[in-house]
Amino acid sequence: MTAPNEAVGRVLGTEDATPLTFWVAVEQGRYLQLDDVVVTHRQLPDGASVAIAGVVTAIRARHEGAQFDSDVFLIADGMLPAEVQEAAEVTTTRVEPEVYVPPRPGESVYRATDLERAVALYFDRMERQVPVGLGRDGESVFLNADFLDGTRGGHVSISGISGVATKTSFATWLLYSLFRSPALGAEAVNTKALIFNVKGEDLLLLDHDNIKLTDEIRASYAKLGLPAEAFKSVGVYAPPRVGDRDATPDVASRTTGVDPFYWTLREFCAEKLLPFVFADADDERQQYTMVVHQVTAKLARDAMPADGGAVLIDGEIVRDYAGLVEFLERRLTDDDSRAAWTGSAIGLGTANAFLRRLSSSRRDLARLIRGDLPERRAHGISTESGAQVTVVDLHNLPDRAQRFVVGVTLRNEFERKERSGAARPLLFVVLDELNKYAPREGNSPIKEILLDIAERGRSLGVILIGAQQTASEVERRIVANSAIRVVGRLDAAEATRPEYGYLPPAQRQRAVLAKPGTMFVAQPDIPVPLVVEFPFPAWATRPSEAGARPAGSARSAVSDADPFAVVGAPAGSGTDDDIPF
């Protein structure tokens, strides 16, 4: 590293200087701010020079010569002699060559720019850079794609307060940057993303330009080497409306280009989907879970396909989910038939515990599990439809139904990747409210799938981008397997949890005050998390922002619908959750 010409201070001699941290006295008339990148040099006895670079992690200012707190008034009035001195704590990020010696007090310290800054932050060693935002100095900050696409690591954990931390906005921004930067090369065209939309209809308009973009925002995209455009290829799935016999998608912000999703009763039985009805985390020692597996196996063996996706079981045709629940209630409460469905060791009390939970799902899942529609009609969620980004809308579904859709969809996609036997093309899964699907305590089918993705997904090309309000409530192994960790605005109590131990103390305090759009990004290449601000989305995040779809873009839906049209939604119909600015 070569030092710039202008020194901003000197290594402080009144504080210990170590190879890992040191203090800098700031020159009069100059300043350092948090997150500035600086560099100093140490001359060795053999004449070699060691460059020590780091990031400013704390700043202080004090009166030198003051003895009492009240002296500040006398000094301000010119009645006592004193000097104001600012000092900055620097946490070392890189030493070149790797001779770990402390900088000498009195050595000049320079603000690192251009190549010096890139070297200090290891950007020079990132063969494939993904722009992640702008630093406090207004310069680009990058992620190493090797830790994002599974080459050397994978998975992203994003934490922060709902509605303020902009977790979902950052996740979609990260996907956009990854798809549009050169990091993936020719693979970018075939790389897919699966996004579960759980808050309003914010993510249903990713392929519409944002009409609120300004020249300043476009300039920030240009500085990062990216065009300010919407996503070019988006497919949207939504559940049918309640009671609708035509399976019309239950959405308000767009009239075309949305396909309904549901499962036929034949698929429900043959594909053994019953466990996902009980996908809330529970104590696996409870005996009713044995009934779940017994009934699941019995349905897979005995349910015969009938017309319209219905099933024939024990001579009875079942055409809807409520009918299936009633059929099981009759079989499991009858002493003569119960053993055939649950096994001889299961008593009536355990069977009733299963039935109580099953009965409570009747209303939640009725529109998702059908036997009254032509089975040949397209109704499945698939990332192989041709769209690069697949959005699954869940916001109109109750909690149990959301769990069912997430669990079944993830299982199907993960099994598809296993069958393919190849990690490429990559599949990125964006899942908000991860603490609900993979809580620290208890067990569930969804949690098992997410653990499998966290531990084996990288080798199969499945990368999880998980977002949650509280990382402390998410299964430890999922967070631990995330190579990249991102934090937005945090609750003060949450910021003290050990899950955020990778943040320096000053950054923990700042995370409590962080404004929307500011994120603390930690990655294995860089010892200190970097503070970045990512641009305002170039795609619509609510109906009021939606402009035209980009010219020449691919069809967003798997059907042959016309280009999307945004219907006039009532004012405020879009949510403000996770909107950065």
Answer yes or no: are the C-beta atoms of 376 and 339 closer than 8 Å. Answer: no
Helix H or strand E segment including 409: helix 399-420
The 10 Å Cβ neighbour count of residue 280 is 16
Q: Closest Cα partner for 503 from 482, 481, 488?
A: 488
Residue 443 to residues 386, 468, 478: CA-CA distances in angstroms?
34, 18, 14
Three-class SS state of 240: strand
Using 50, 70 and 90 to split pLDDT, how confident is the model at 38? Answer: very high
Q: Which amino acid is at 460?
A: L
Q: Which domains does the chain have, with CATH numbers?
A: 7-120 (2.40.30), 155-261+380-486+537-545 (3.40.50.300), 263-370 (no CATH)
Burial (CB count <10 Å: 0-12, 13-18, 19+), residue 335: exposed
Q: Which residue has the tokens 């990062």?
A: 224
Q: pLDDT at position 91, please?
A: 95
Residue 494 confidence (pLDDT) above 50: yes
Three-class SS state of 548: coil
Which residues does residue 52 pair with via DSSP β-bridges, in sequence order? 40, 95
Interatomic CA distance for residues 12 and 356, integer angstroms: 70
Inter-residue long-range contacts of 94-99, CB under 8 Å, 24+ positions, other chains counted: 94/53, 94/54, 94/119, 94/120, 94/121, 94/122, 95/19, 95/50, 95/51, 95/52, 95/53, 96/1, 96/50, 96/51, 96/53, 97/48, 97/50, 99/44, 99/48, 99/50
Q: Which amino acid is at 239?
A: P
Residue 572 confidence (pLDDT) above 80: no
Q: Closest Cα partner for 545 from 517, 572, 519?
A: 572
Q: pLDDT at position 2, please?
A: 44
Using 50, 70 and 90 to split pLDDT, how confident is the model at 37? Answer: very high
This prediction's pTM: 0.88
* 52 DSSP assignment: E
> What average pLDDT does the chain have?
88
Tell me the pLDDT tens digit for each residue of 55-80.
Answer: 999 999 999 888 899 989 998 998 89
How far from chain centre, in Å, is Cα 115? 31
Query: Helices 348-360 and 335-342 sit at what angle, rounded to 10 degrees?
Result: 80
Q: Closest Cα partner for 465 from 456, 478, 475?
A: 478
| Bridge-based pairing state of the strands 108-111 and 7-11 | antiparallel
Q: pLDDT at position 5, please?
A: 59
Nearest 5°: the CA angle 220, 224, 226 is 95
Interatomic CA distance for residues 181 and 243, integer angstroms: 44
Tell me the pLDDT tens digit for each residue of 381-407.
Answer: 999 878 999 999 999 999 999 999 999
Q: Closest Cα partner for 509 from 522, 490, 527?
A: 490
- For residue 432, give both structure tokens: 């908000």
